[in-house]
A = this chain, B = another copy of it.
Amino acid sequence: MIKITEQPFDPWQELSSFQLAMRRDGEFGACANFIGTMRDMNEGDAVSGMVLEHYPGMTEKHLDKIIAVAKDKWDLLDTLVIHRVGKLLPNDPIVLVAVWSVHRKDAFEASRFIMEDLKSKAPFWKKEAVKSSGQQTEKNRWVEKNTSGY
């Protein structure tokens, strides 16, 4: 399942409900998941807020595709991807990627694969409100590029 949401989400509650709704009790031996959370610092500057823009339509299409690729490469029982858009505050969860499988290798590798693809290709853009040290006023700046996680 893929969810793009403007509402804050609790990753643990989402994981708990989704796993229950999967109705795969006794089948899955492994769940690997990743949660990306907004920090209050970036590149040495204090960050007080963020606006996350995306490309509605292409976002879902791209995530669907990458999940299909992952299901092709690994034996997966189910996947859950949630991504926040709109206005965010520090400590807000931004993204959740979770993968259920029979054996751990599949869950570990697929969760990282989906997350890395999302970071490098899914059409989301962050604009953060920052106050550089020594400066009084806040400025908005676009985050320029995600770094590779490998």
CA distance A39 to B104 in the complex (A): 12
**Residue-wise interface mask of A (9-20) relative to B, using a CB-CB cutoff of 8 A (1 in contact, 0 not):** 010110110000
Given the interface contacts A12-B13, A105-B150, does A90 sit within 8 Å of B25 by beta carbon?
yes
Given the interface contacts A34-B107, A104-B149, does A39 sit within 8 Å of B12 by beta carbon?
no
Q: Contact at B108–A104, with CB atoms within 8 Å?
A: no
Q: Is A70 an interface residue (CB 8 A)?
A: no
**Residue-wise interface mask of A (32-52) relative to B, using a CB-CB cutoff of 8 A (1 in contact, 0 not):** 111111111100000000000
Dominant SS among interface residues on chain A = mixed
Tally of chain A residues near chain B (CB < 8 A)? 37
Taking CB atoms, residues of chain B closer than 8 Å to A38 are 26, 29
Taking CB atoms, residues of chain B closer than 8 Å to A12 are 12-13, 15-16
Q: Contact at A36–B104, with CB atoms within 8 Å?
A: yes
Given the interface contacts A26-B39, A26-B41, A39-B26, does A34 sit within 8 Å of B150 by beta carbon?
no
* Residues of A bordering B, CB below 8 Å: 10, 12-13, 15-16, 25-41, 90-91, 102-105, 107-108, 111-112, 115, 119, 147, 149-150
